[in-house]
Amino acid sequence: MMKSSRQNNPDVPPINVAISYKGKERVAGPFVEAFVLGRDDACDISIPSRVMSRKHARISFEKSAWWIIDLESSNGTFFDGSRIDRLQISAGEPFILAKDGPEVRFDFAALDDPDSIARAKTVVHSPVSEEKLSSAATPEPPSTDSGRRNLAGKSVEDYAAHYLSHDSGLPAGEHTMMIRKAFQTVETKQKKRHFTVLGGVLGVAVLIISVSLIFLFQSEKARKNAEASVAALFHQIKEMELIVADFRAANENDPAQQARIARAEEQIRNLQASYEATIVEYGIRRELTPEERLIHRMAMVFRESELEIPSGFVREVKQKIHGFWLQPRNIRTFQESVRRAEREGYTRIIVEQFQANGLPAEYFYLALQESNLDPTQVAYENTRWGWAKGMWQFIPATAERYDMVVGPLRDEKIYDPDDERHDFEKSTVAAAKYIGEIYRTLAQASGLLVLASYNWGEFGVARKLEALPDPEPFEGMEMNPVSRSYWRFYTEYQDRMPEQTKDYVLKIFSLAVIGSDPKFFGIEMEDPLSAYR
C-alpha cells in the first residue's frame, strides 16, 4: 500500500528502517519526511504486534538530525534497556518498540546518492505486514491512545451530537473511542439520548458487520483477514456492552428505562449470534479439537477474545480439567453441589440475578469454587479483614458496602444465623452487583479479570473500587476493553498476578467448560444452567 508522494526536502538525508520481529525482517524506506510506526493500518509503517500501541513512535527530522519520539505508547520505546521519550538516531543502533516487541534499526543514505534520492521521492509508505486488512472492509477496533480524547477541536458534547453523522469527517475508531465519555457527559441532562445514540451505535455495528462479511469472506485465502475483522468486531461489541452496563447502573431504579435496556441487550445478543454464526460458517474453529472448541466458546462467554487466546492458557485449562476436576473425588463434589443448588432453588435465582445485571450466568461456578454453593459456609482461614462467610464468601466490609447486616459472630469461625452473608438471596443480589461493578469499571468487561479481581479483593487490591480506580496490578493499562483483557495479564504481566489468583481463575474457568457439556467429559448430567437461560 503506497501513500501519495510528498515533496522531499533536499537538505534531509533519506532514512531507511529495518524491522526485526519474531525471526522475520522487513526493510522500509527511504523516507525524507516524518513518519509513524505502530500497529494501526493507518501508520506509515504498520507492524502487526499486539504489544505495540496503535500509533507507537514517530520518526522526525529536527535540528539537523533524525529523532525517534515515543507517542505516549502503553508499553514504551526502549534504547539500551532504558525507556525513552525521544532520542537522536544514530545509524545501526537498535531501538525496541515495547518490551519483547519489534526491533528497529536505521541507516542513512548520502545526500549525493542520486538513486536514493529518486527512491525517496516516491517510496513514502512500506507496509511490514503482508496480511493486512483492506481499510474499506475492516472496522477499526476501539482506540487505546489516551492522548486522543478530543480530536480535531471537537468537544465531547460535539461527539454526543454528531458522531453518527456521515459528514463528521472522523474515522470510525475515533467515534468508538469517544462514545462512552459522550454518554457520561450528557446523562444527567438528556437520559433519553442515551439510547438514541446507543441505537445508532448498534445500527452502525450491524452495518459494519454486514459490509465486512461481504468483502472479507470471499475465499479461503481471506481467512486470516476474516479473523482480524471478527476480532475487531468482538472488541466493538464489548464497548457496546459497557455502554449498556453503565446506563443500567445509573438507571436501575427507573422502571421507564428498563424496556430500553432490554431492547439494547437484545440487539447485542443478535450481534453476538451473528459473530458466532460467522465463526462457524467460515471454519475459524475447524482446526480445533472438540475440547478446544468448548474452551474457546467459554472464553467468549467470559468476554475474552477467542482469537487472541494464548496457547499456554488452553494447555493449562486442559491440565486443570483432567488433572484436577475429573478426579473421582472432585467429580463427586461437583455433582453434589450442583444437585443441592437445583434442589434448593439456588440455580434459577443465581442465573436470574446475574443476567439481570448483564453478566454471564457462568458466575454460578464462582460460587461453586468459593463454597460448593453452600450458604452456611465459613472460610477455612481468617483474613486480616475478618472471616469470609456465606455462599459468596464476603468479608465484613464488602458485605456492609452492599447493604448486608454482618452478625454478632463476625469475629468467630462459626455459622451465624443473624449474619445476612448466610442469607442466600440477599448475598446473591449483592454478589451480582459487586461483580457487575468490577466488570464495568476495574475489569472493563473482561470476565476473567473479574474473577481475578474477586480473588484479589480478599487481599485488599480491589476492595474499594471508587477509592482505587487504578490499583497497582492495573498500573499502566488504560481504562478500556482492549487494554484490559485477561490475555494481557497472562502474556505481559504474569509477575503482577499471585499464583493463587492464577489458579483460582483456571479452576473456575475449567469448571465452567466442564459444566457447559458434562457428558462430553463422561459425567452423566446436563448443563446445570441450560434450563434457566
Q: Please answer whether residues 366 and 343 qualify as being in contact, where contact means their C-beta atoms are separated by less than 8 angstroms.
A: no
Q: Which amino acid is at 100?
A: D
Q: How far is CA 104 from CA 15, 52, 85, 120, 215, in A?
A: 12, 13, 16, 19, 33
pLDDT in tens, 9-44: 557 888 999 998 887 888 888 888 899 998 888 888
The mean predicted confidence, pLDDT, of the chain is 76
Of the candidate ranges 122-131, 172-181, 348-357, the one whose mean pLDDT is the lowest:
122-131
The end-to-end CA distance of the chain, in Å, is 47
Query: What's the pLDDT at 165?
Result: 37
Phi-psi domain of 456 (left: phi exceeds 0; alpha: psi -120 through 50; beta: other): alpha
- List Cβ neighbours of 186 (8 Å cut-off, separation of 6 or more): 157, 160, 193, 194
Tell me, what DSSP letter sits at residue 461? S
Amino acid at 404: M
Cα 15 off chain centre by: 37
| Of 467, 465, 475, nearest in space to 442 by CA | 465
- Cα 128 from chain centre: 25
DSSP per-residue string spanning 40-76 = STTSSEE---TTS-SS-EEEEEETTEEEEEE-S-SS-
pLDDT of residue 163: 32
170, 184 in Cβ contact below 8 A? no
- Whole-angstrom CA distances from 488 to 98, 140, 242, 300, 502 are 13, 20, 19, 16, 13
CA distance 202 to 267: 7
Name the residue with higher pLDDT: 427 or 211: 427
- DSSP assignment letter at 493: -
Q: Which domains does the chain have, with CATH numbers?
A: 15-122 (2.60.200.20), 156-284 (no CATH), 320-532 (1.10.530.10)
Strand-pair partners of 87: 68
Tell me whether strands 35-38 and 57-62 are parallel, antiparallel or unpaired: antiparallel
What pLDDT digit, counting tens, does each position of 59-108 carry?
A: 998 888 899 999 888 888 998 888 888 899 988 889 999 888 899 999 88
Using the predicted structure, report yes or no on whether residue 390 has a pLDDT greater than 90: yes
**319-346: pLDDT as tens digits:** 999 999 999 999 999 999 999 999 999 9
Is residue 37 classed as helix, strand or coil in its secondary structure?
strand
Compute the distance between CA of residue 197 and CA of residue 177 in angstroms, rounded to an integer: 14
- C-alpha 310/C-alpha 97 separation (Å) is 21
25 three-state secondary structure: strand
Helices and strands per DSSP (H, E), number in the chain: 16, 11
Plot region of 149 (φ>0 → left; ψ -120 to 50 → alpha; else → beta): alpha
- Selection from 167-176, 244-253, 458-467 with the highest mean pLDDT: 244-253
Q: Which of 302, 356, 349 is nearest to 529 (CA)?
A: 349
Residue 416 backbone phi and psi in degrees, to 5: -125, 105
- Report whether 47 contacts 128 (CB < 8 A): yes
Give percent of the chain above pLDDT 90: 36
Q: Which residue has the higher pLDDT, 181 or 314?
A: 314
Three-class SS of 362-419: HHHHHHHHHHCCCCCCECCCCECCECCECCCCECHHHHHHCCCCCCCCCCCCCCCCCC
What is the rounded average pLDDT of the residues 495-518? 92
- Sign of the four-CA dihedral 281, 282, 283, 285: negative
More confident residue, 43 or 457: 43
Q: Determine the residue type at 436.
A: G
Reduced to 3 states, what is the DSSP secondary structure of residue 242? helix
- Cα atoms in the 13 Å half-sphere on the side-chain side of 23: 0
CB 105 within 8 A of CB 92: yes
Q: Over 70: is that where the pLDDT of 170 sits?
A: no
Distance in angstroms (rounded) separating the CA atoms of residues 437 and 444: 10
Surface-to-core class of residue 266, CB atoms within 10 Å of its CB (0-12 exposed, 13-18 middle, 19+ buried): exposed
In the β-sheet with 45-46, what is the strand arrangement from edge to edge? 45-46, 35-38, 57-62, 65-70, 86-88
